[in-house]
Amino acid sequence: MLIFSTIEGKLRAYTVILLTLPLLAACIAFYTIVRQANITNAYHDIYTETSYTKYSINTWLEHRAGDIEHVAATPSALLEDPKFTSDFFKAFLKSHEDFRSLVLFDTAGNVRTSIPETQRGNVADREYFARARKGLAPTTSLLKSRLSGEYIIIVAHPVQDEKGAFSGVLTGAININTILQTFSLSHSSGSWRPILLDAQTHTPLADMESGSAKIIPPPDGDTGTPQIYKNSDNARVIGASMPAKDGEWLVVMEKPVAEILGGMERMLLVLAIASLGTMVALLPYI
C-alpha cells in the first residue's frame, strides 16, 4: 500500500492506530464483557428483590388470615351480644392497624355488626361469602367494597356455633394502599420501585379504575440472560416479574438500562472525545 511506502506514511498510519486503538479496545471490552456483566448483575439484584417482595406479601397475607381466624374462633354466643362484639372489634382494630374494618355477617349475608359502623348491606352473592359458607377461609383479590366504595381485599372466615353449625361470616377489610405502603410498592412504573399488577389485566392494583395495562418483563429463557425491552413509559429497561397471592397478582420491578450503564457509557464518550480531539490536534503534524 502507498501509505506504507515511505517512513512518513508509516509514521502517520501508526500514529492514527495508536490514537484509535485504546478507544477500539475499550469499546470491544465494553460490548463483549463489561456491559453484559453489569446487566446480568443488575438483573440478579432485581430478581432477588422481586422474589423477596413476593415472599413477604404472601407471608403477610397468611398472617392476616390467621388474625381473622383467631377472631372467628370466639364463641358464637358472645358474638351475638352486640355490645361485646362492638367492643371486641374496636380493641382488635386498635391493635391490628392493617385492617380497615371488621364486619360480621349473619347466615343470610346481612350485616350483623360492623366496626367502624357503615350502611347496611347484603353480600350473599359475593364469592367469598359463598366459599365461607362451605367452610373455606378465602382471601379475595382486589374488589370494590359495597359498604365503603373503596378498593380493598377481604379476608373472610366462617363462624360456627358450639355444635359446629354455620352461623355467619367474619370479614376483615384491608385497603390496597395499606399493602402498597407496607412493602414500599410503587403506584406507577416510573419510580423503579416494585409495582403490584393484576395478573390477568396487568393493570396496577393501585389504579384499577383508570389505570392502563403495563408491559411486563419478557421471560429470560433457558439461559437466564435478561432481555432489554421498552416498558410502558417507553424507557429501555430490564425487569423481573413473579406471581403472588396464588397467581392472582404480579410483582414487577424494572431498572433503566441508562442507569445501569450510565457511568461506563460516559467513560466511553469521554475517551472517544479525547481520542478524536487528539487526532484533530495532531492532524497538521501527521
pLDDT at position 172, please? 94
Q: How far apart, in whole angstroms, are the C-alpha atoms of residue 61 and residue 140?
A: 11
Q: What is the structure's pLDDT at 24? A: 66
The predicted pLDDT at position 5 comes to 61
Cα–Cα dist 114/86, whole Å:
8
Residue 118 in contact with residue 170, Cβ under 8 Å?
Answer: no
Question: 116 and 90 in contact (C-beta within 8 Å)?
Answer: no
Q: What is the pLDDT of residue 2?
A: 47
Residues facing 244 on adjacent strands: 249
Query: What distance in Å separates the CA atoms of residue 263 and residue 67, rounded to the nearest whole number?
Result: 48
Residue type, 39: I
3-state helix/strand/coil string of the chain: CHHHCCHHHHHHHHHHHHHHHHHHHHHHHHHHHHHHHHHHHHHHHHHHHHHHHHHHHHHHHHHHHHHHHHHHCCCHHHHCCHHHHHHHHHHHHHHCCCCCEEEEECCCCEEEEEECCCCCCECCCCHHHHHHHCCCCCECCCEECCCCCCEEEEEEEEEECCCCCEEEEEEEEEEHHHHHHHCCCECCCCCCCCEEEECCCCCEHHHCCCCCCCCCCCCCCCCCCCCCEECCCCCEEEEEEEEECCCCEEEEEEEEHHHHHHHHHHHHHHHHHHHHHHHHHHHHHC
Structure-block grid coordinates of residue 197: 399488577
CA dist 224 → 30, 48, 100, 191 (Å): 20, 13, 41, 25
The residues facing 47 across adjacent strands are none
* Residue ranges of the chain whose pLDDT lies below 70: 1-34, 77, 147, 187-191, 220-224, 262-272, 274-286
This prediction's pTM: 0.79
Q: Which residues contact 144 (CB under 8 A, 6 or more apart)?
A: 150, 151, 152
The reported pLDDT for the residue numbered 284 is 61
Percent of the chain predicted with pLDDT > 90 = 39
Tell me what pLDDT residue 187 has. Answer: 67
- pLDDT confidence of residue 212: 82
Q: Which residue type is seen at 164? A: G
Q: How far is CA 218 from the centre of its chain?
A: 15
C-alpha cell at 117: 359502623
**Ramachandran region, residue 135 (left: φ > 0; alpha: ψ -120 to 50; beta: rest):** left
Q: End-to-end alpha-carbon separation of the chain, Å?
A: 17
